[in-house]
Amino acid sequence: MTHTVNGFMLIDAPHSALNNAGNDSSERTENIVRVKAIRKGKKVYPYVSGQALRYWWRTTLEEKFNWNISPIEREKKIAFTSANPVEYDDDDVFGYMRALKKADGGTVTRLSVLKNSPLVSIVGQVPTDDFGVMARHEGDPVPYEHEFYSTVLKGIFSLDLDNVGVFYKSEKTGYRNMYPELETIAEKNGAEKIEDKWVMSTEVREKRAKDVLKALPYLAGGAKQTSHLTDVSPKLLILAGIDGGNHLFMNLVREEKGEALVDVAALEEVISDYSDILLTDIYIGRRKGFMEDLDPVFKDLTKKYAGNNRKVIYGSINEMVDSFVQTIPGLMR
C-alpha cells in the first residue's frame, strides 16, 4: 500500500466570489459575471475549481518557500512545462505531460503526487446579484453585475509520499516520467538509479513533502479580491498519515438546517474503523473565531483518545501543521 497524507479543510468565504464562470450571454445584458456553481436538484453550490486551488497552492510555494517553478512554453494551442522534476519542484509534485520528439524520448507523463478536490460550498446558496456602475467618465454610466456568496467551502487532498522525488521509466501512462536527457540530469544531481526508477536524495524528498503542507496556512489567491477580500487559508484542517490511497475524511461535514455541520461522530467512526491503516495521530487545527462551538468538542476528543494507539491532537492551524510535518521522515520510504 502507498503511504499518503490525508487532508481535509474548510475555507471560510463570508462575502466572496473566488472563482467565476465569466459572462453569461443568455442574460438580459451582456455584462453579468456568474460564479462557478454546481446544481443538485433545486439548490446551487458555488465552488472553486480544483485547478484554481492548485494555482493558489503552487504560487504560495513559489513565493513563500522559494520553489523553483518550471518555466512554461507555448506552441500554438498547447502549453507545457519543462517536464523536469529533478530541477523543478512543481514538476515533481504537480505532475506533467509533454510530447517530446521521438528521438528525444517521445511523450512523457507524470501523475501528480498531490491530488485535491474542488472547494465546494457545504450549504446551498442563492448568490447575491451585485449591481455596479462605471461612472468616472463623461456621459452615461456603464452598468455591470456580478455574483457573490456567503458560505463555508470544503475540500480534501492527498499527498503520495512514496512517490515524491521518485521518477519512473515504465511504459505506463503516468509512470513514463523519464527521457534520456532527464536521466543525465538526474545522475548529475545525485539521484540514485534503482531498477527502473530514479530516486532523489532523502533531503530533497522530505523538503518538498514538508513544504507542500507548510504552505497551507499561507494559501492566498482567488478572484474579486479587490472588492471581496477573503482569506483563503484553511480555518479548519485535519491531517493524518495512512497506509492506502483512499480518502478517509471526505464525508465529515454536511448541510443541516441551512448550516454547515462538522460530524464528529463520523470522524470517530473513521478513527475506529480504519485504526489498522492509520500511521499517525489525527491532527486537528482550527482558527479561533471560526466554528467556535467546536472548541470544547475537539478538546473532549483529545481527552477521550489520550490513551489510544492513535491520539487526537488539537490546536491552532499553524501549530498542527508544524507538528504534523515532523512525522514526514517516518512516513517516507
Model confidence pLDDT, tens digit, residues 110-133: 999 999 999 999 999 999 988 888
Residues 45 and 38: beta-carbon distance below 8 Å = yes
Indicate whether this model's pTM tops 0.85. yes
Look at residue 29 in the predicted model and tell me its pLDDT.
63
CA distances from 108 to 74, 77, 138, 173 (A): 17, 19, 56, 8
Statement: residue 141 has pLDDT above 90: no
Tens digit of pLDDT for each residue in 161-173? Answer: 999 999 999 989 9
CA distances from 298 to 41, 160, 289 (A): 34, 27, 14
Indicate if the alpha-carbon torsion angle 295, 300, 306, 311 is positive or negative: negative
Look at residue 25 in the predicted model and tell me its pLDDT.
65
Query: What is the average per-residue pLDDT within 227-240?
Result: 97
Residues 161 and 324: beta-carbon distance below 8 Å = no
> Nearest to residue 90, comparing CAs of 73, 65, 70?
70
Residues 161 and 178: beta-carbon distance below 8 Å = no
b/e string for 267-290 if b means 16 or more Cβ within 10 A? beebbeebeeebbbbbbbbbbeee
Distance of alpha carbon 89 from alpha carbon 92, whole angstroms? 5
Distance of alpha carbon 82 from alpha carbon 159, whole angstroms? 22
301's CB contacts (< 8 A; 6+ apart) are 264, 267, 268, 284, 312, 314
Q: Which three cell numbers stand for residue 202?
A: 532523502
Tens digit of pLDDT for each residue in 168-201? Answer: 999 899 999 999 999 999 999 999 999 999 999 9
| Number of independent structural domains in the chain | 1
Sole residue written with cell 486537528: 284
Among the listed ranges 68-77, 87-96, 233-242, 292-301, which one has the minimum average pLDDT value? 68-77
Confidence band, pLDDT 50/70/90 cuts, at residue 142: confident
Domain extent, residue 319, equals 3-331
